[in-house]
Structure formats: C-alpha cells, structure tokens
C-alpha cells in the first residue's frame, strides 16, 4: 500500500504524523553526541532509524544541523556542545554532504516510510555565507553582495539537489531567515521566493515530494508560499487556508514541556484541518523527554480514531 | 513639520531632522547633522534625547506594527550609533539618564544575536546602561557578569530549540550562587514564550524589542 504521506498529499487520507525529530534528539537517546553522528553517515542513519523505530511516525527527516551546506562552502562550524556557525565564509572547507547522502541511502533501505533530506533555502544559506547581520543590511542598502551570495548558494544547492534526487529521496527545504519574523513580505518576494521555487520545481520534475519549512511568523507570506508549488508547507501557524498540504499544529514548547492538556488542545484544533501532517512547528528540542513525543503520537491517534 | 523650538538655522539643523534621518536609516546624514548640531553648540544630551532616541523610539514603533523588519531596524541602529558615537564622549558623567544596568547575551551554542542586538540598541536608546556579553555565552560567564556588574536585569536569548534550554541552566546557576534574588531575569527568542519563561524561573518574556523594553521598565519600576 502507498505510504501515508503520499496518501495525505493526494487527499486520500486525512492524517499523517511527524513530530520533527532530528538527529540531535535521536543521538541523545543512544547516548551519542551530535558531533559524532553529524560527521558519519552510518551513525547518522543509525540514530535516525532508532528514532523512527521508537516513535513510529510516518516519515524520516535526515537533518543533523543547519550548517551542512554552509560548512561545505567554507564557513567554520563547531558541533559541540551544539551546532554553531563560527563565522562567515573562509578558506577551510569540510564537506559533510556526502555523509548526509550516505545516511539517506541507508535509511531508504531500512525504513518503510518516506525518507526526506533537509536542505537550506538559498536565502538562508546565503545569509550564513556573509554573516546574517551584514546580509540583511545589504538587502536594503543597495549593495550587491547579498544578491551575489544568494546566486552562489542557489548554484551550490542545485548541484547538491541533483545528487539527492539521483538517490530518489524526497527533500524538505528549510528557509528560516526568510520568515516574516525577520524580513518583510516584499523582501521575501524580491530575494527568497524565486530560488525556493527553482529548487521545488527540480524536485517535482523528478516525481519526488517537495516540502518547504519556514518557522516563526509566516502569516504575511502564506499566500506566496502557497504559490511555490511545494507538496507540503511546514509552518508555525497553520490557520491560514492553503491549497498546499500543511504540516504543523503542535508548538515546540508544548512538546518540550509535556503538558498533556495543552498538547491535546493544540492537536484537537489542528485536526479541524481536512488534511494534515500533524507535526511540531519546528524541530523537537534535543532534551525533550521521550514520553512527551510518545504522548503526541498517542493523542493524535486517539483523536483520529474517534 | 519640524517643531520651530527645535530648529536652528532655518530648520536645517534640528532634532526632528536627526530623528527623521535615523528613521530613514541614513547613516551619513545622521553623522552630518549631529556634527553640525554640535558645532552649533546644541547640547549633546538634547541631541541624544530629542533626535537620536526619538528616532529609535519611532523605529521601535514601526517594528512593532510590522512596517519595519529586522533589516530596516539594523540599518536604523547603525544610523543611531553613528550619531551616538559622536556625542557620547561629550556627555558629562551622571548627566545622561541612567535608569539602571542590564547585562545581556545570547546563550552558549547560539550565534543568532540579531534580536539581542536590536534589544540592546532599544535599551541604550531608552537610557539604560547595557553590558553586552555577545553571543555563544557559556552559563558561567553569565553568572560571573551578574556577580561583577550587579545589574538590575539579566536578559538572555536563544533562537534555536536546541539552545533554549540553556537559559534554564543560567537561572539554576544564579540560584546555586544565591544571586537569583538580586537580579531580575528576562528572556527572549522565537522558540520561547511566557510559559517557558515561567517554567524556567525567569521573571518575564519579551516577545519583541519594544516589548522587552516595556518589560524592563515594569520590572525595574517594581
């Protein structure tokens, strides 16, 4: 039978579930450090498979940290105690994209649900390359360095995407710096929209699932996100009506706190959507108690059955 | 229209123009107007209060009502500091409004300091003395700074779900060193909220820069 994610996208099924559990949380479950797994595709696959087996959600997301591509383009990154971008582009290059691809390849063989790889939107990646603050100032000061960085980031992501698509994995594009918590809808349209759309079109041309994730405030740009042509929109506020399937409904703080009543209330409201991937609004915090994630799965199944 | 009482030389050098240049994010114009105002013997305290600070307050308002976004606030901050750097050495000690000291920083593992920087500039512009610890600040550095600086407020932020829990570690550290009752703790950052602040034992959550300043004023006023 076709997987749940595809059936929800086709509106043949109402609900799929994915608390956005990533490598940092899964590594902690196995007493491993993120630094250990983020540099090793086999270990990355192992922890993500363990997360899937533990919680039994409906997709797996290969995501170790936000700086894989930035590092491959020369940004210094430290992974311990938590992933940190140490500065803009320099000369040292440490390319972990091969490890991500290896992890995705292994997971495709080991799990029954769709495997997604998370990549950065060119706008966000460009902001890492020249430093977020300088990048944002360049956008409105008329200097061309931000635009050049976006083009450079897009070119890199097109090549990275080609390697992923050859494997036949689905792709989620995360573009948090393009959120309306940071930039205006006008700036989004001018600089972030088209590069995102180019990547989404490439994914869809291959018949794979394209997801777009932007956290923070997305309400002012939801109509534009809806026009991107993605199969899934992962956004914090899922109340605006869209033709694209939405993903979200449970706040990251709610899952971290483990308040059952609040979680039940959020899930109940989210399930008013005719079709939904019930998810957290952003990735599950590393230290989240395992029982909180299980609680989310159980509550969702209970409501859905009733 | 500029207030005539603020005008000098036919309105070219007036506080409203400085305010407008800050709001317009015009770094060079702010520098030029402040330099000319000083040359014309206007009081530095007045230039700061009625020109630069008034400008940043308007920027804060525009940010709160979503007419300005982070890039615009960053550029306006640059314009504010271009003028502030010219006049701050000229302001006599104790003459500038000193409402209290605030230690601010982004927790360890997190390099997202734009929000913190915006809060800092708004606090500067509101007359607080701000000690900026920067980004990726280990828990013990926060504790050391509270011990050393004796601030009225400790402000922390985190933008990532992976790092927000470090704010709890700082509050615990303050408790262990018997410092918690000597300082009010406020937090900020997209993944946090008022519930989270309460759970980790902080005194409040500032949703944005303008609300952070209001929160500080409420807490210090108490």
User: Tens digit of pLDDT for each residue in A24-50?
Assistant: 999 999 999 999 999 999 999 999 999
Q: For chain A, which residues lie within 8 Å of any Cβ of chain B, measuring from their own Cβ?
A: 24, 81-86, 132-133, 136-137, 139-141, 180-184, 187, 215-216, 220, 251-253, 256-257, 282-287
**Cβ contact (<8 Å) for A252 and B161?**
yes
Kindly determine whether residue A285 and residue B70, on different chains, have CB atoms separated by under 8 Å. no
Q: Which residue of A has its CA nearest to B68?
A: A184
Size of chain B in residues: 222
Half-sphere exposure of A121 (CA within 13 A, CB side): 26
CATH 1.10.10.10 corresponds to the domain A4-305: no
Spans of all domains in chain A: 4-305
Residue B207 structural domain: 101-221
Using one digit for the tens of pLDDT, what is the confidence trace for A101-130?
999 999 999 999 999 999 999 999 999 999
CA-based nearest residue to A35, from A99, A87, A97, A78: A78
B86 shares a domain with B108? no
Q: Does B164 touch chain A (CB under 8 A)?
A: yes
Domain edge (last residue) among B53, B68, B90: B90
Bridge partners of residue B143, in order along the sequence: none
* pLDDT string in tens for chain A (306-residue length): 689 999 999 999 999 999 999 999 999 999 999 999 999 999 999 999 999 999 999 999 999 999 999 999 999 887 777 777 777 777 666 899 999 999 999 999 999 999 999 999 999 999 999 988 899 999 998 778 999 999 999 999 999 999 999 999 999 999 999 999 899 999 999 999 999 999 999 999 999 999 999 988 999 999 999 999 999 999 999 999 999 999 999 999 899 989 999 999 999 999 999 999 999 999 999 989 999 999 999 999 988 765
- Which phi and psi angles does B124 have, rounded to 5°? -55, -50
Burial B38-52 (b: 16+ CB within 10 A, else e): beeebebeebbbbbb
SS3 content of chain B, % helix, strand, coil (to 5): 55, 10, 35
Both B114 and B176 in one domain: the answer is yes
B167, exposed or middle or buried, with CB in 10 Å at 0-12, 13-18, 19+? buried
Smallest CA–CA separation between A104 and chain B, in Å?
23
- Give the CA angle between residues A74, A64, A156 to the nearest 5°: 40
Which of B71, B90, B109 is the endpoint of a domain? Answer: B90
Q: In sequence order, what DSSP letters do the residues of A13-44 get, joined into one string?
A: SSEEEE----HHHHHHHTT--HHHHHT-HHHH
Specify the pairing of strand A84-85 against strand A77-78: antiparallel
Of A84, A140, A282, the CB nearest to B136: A84
Nearest CA to A123 among A207, A203, A205, A180?
A: A180
| Same-domain status, B185 and B128 | yes
φ and ψ at residue A250, rounded to 5 degrees = -120, 125
Contacts of A293 in chain B (CB under 8 A): none
Q: Residue A257 is nearest to which of B110, B113, B199, comparing CB atoms?
A: B199
Q: How many beta-carbon pairs below 8 A join chains A and B?
A: 85
In a domain, B96, yes or no: no
Q: How many domains does chain B have?
A: 2
Residues B118 and B208 in one domain: yes
Whether residue A25 contacts residue A266, with contact meaning beta carbons closer than 8 Å, is answered with no
CB spacing of B69 vs A183 below 8 angstroms? yes
- Is B195 in the A-facing interface, judged by CB distances under 8 Å? yes
């Amino acid at each position: 039978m076709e997987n749940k994610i595809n059936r929800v996208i086709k509106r043949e099924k109402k609900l799929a579930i994915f608390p956005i559990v990533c490598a940092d949380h899964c590594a902690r479950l196995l007493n491993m450090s993120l630094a250990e797994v983020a540099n090793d595709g086999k270990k990355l696959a192992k922890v993500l498979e363990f997360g899937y087996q533990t919680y039994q959600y409906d997709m797996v997301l290969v995501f170790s940290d936000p700086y894989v591509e930035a590092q491959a383009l020369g940004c210094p990154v430290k992974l311990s105690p938590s992933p940190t971008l140490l500065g803009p582009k320099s000369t040292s290059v440490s390319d972990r994209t091969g490890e991500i691809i290896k992890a995705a390849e292994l997971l495709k063989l080991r799990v029954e649900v769709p495997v997604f790889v998370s990549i950065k939107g060119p706008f966000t990646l460009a902001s890492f390359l020249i430093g977020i603050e300088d990048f944002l100032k360049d956008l409105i000061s008329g200097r061309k360095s931000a635009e050049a960085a976006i083009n450079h980031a897009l070119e890199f992501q097109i090549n990275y995407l080609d390697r992923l698509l050859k494997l036949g994995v689905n792709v989620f594009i995360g573009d948090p710096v393009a959120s309306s918590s940071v930039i205006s809808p006008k700036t989004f349209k001018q600089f972030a929209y088209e590069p995102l759309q180019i990547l989404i079109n490439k994914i869809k041309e291959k018949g794979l699932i394209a997801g777009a994730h932007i956290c923070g405030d997305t309400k002012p740009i939801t109509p534009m996100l809806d026009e991107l042509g993605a199969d899934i929109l992962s956004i914090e506020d899922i109340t605006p009506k869209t033709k694209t399937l939405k993903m979200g409904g449970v706040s990251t703080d709610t899952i971290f706190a483990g308040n059952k009543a609040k979680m039940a209330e959020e899930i109940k409201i989210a399930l008013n959507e005719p079709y939904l991937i019930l998810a957290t609004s952003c990735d599950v915090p590393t230290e989240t108690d395992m029982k909180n994630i299980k609680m989310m799965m159980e509550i969702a199944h209970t409501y859905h059955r009733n | 229209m500029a207030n005539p009482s603020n005008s000098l030389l036919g309105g070219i050098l007036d506080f409203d123009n400085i305010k407008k240049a800050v709001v317009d994010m015009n770094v060079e114009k702010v520098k030029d107007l402040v330099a000319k105002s000083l040359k014309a013997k206007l009081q530095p305290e007045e230039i700061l209060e009625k020109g630069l600070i008034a400008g940043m307050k308007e920027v804060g308002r525009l940010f709160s009502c979503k007419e300005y976004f982070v890039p615009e606030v960053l550029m306006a901050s640059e314009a504010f500091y271009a003028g502030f750097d010219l006049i701050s050495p000229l302001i006599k000690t104790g003459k500038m409004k000193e409402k209290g000291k605030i230690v601010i920083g982004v927790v360890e593992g997190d390099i997202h300091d734009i929000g913190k920087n915006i809060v800092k500039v708004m606090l500067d512009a509101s007359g607080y003395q701000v000690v900026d610890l920067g980004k990726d600040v280990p828990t013990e550095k926060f504790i050391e700074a509270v011990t050393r600086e004796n601030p009225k407020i400790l402000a922390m932020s985190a933008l990532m779900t992976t790092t927000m829990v470090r704010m709890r570690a700082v509050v615990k550290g303050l408790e262990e060193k018997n410092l918690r009752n000597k300082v009010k703790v406020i937090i900020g950052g997209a993944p946090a909220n008022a519930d989270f602040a309460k759970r980790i034992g902080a005194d409040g959550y500032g949703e944005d820069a303008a609300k952070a300043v209001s929160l500080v004023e409420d807490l210090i006023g108490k």
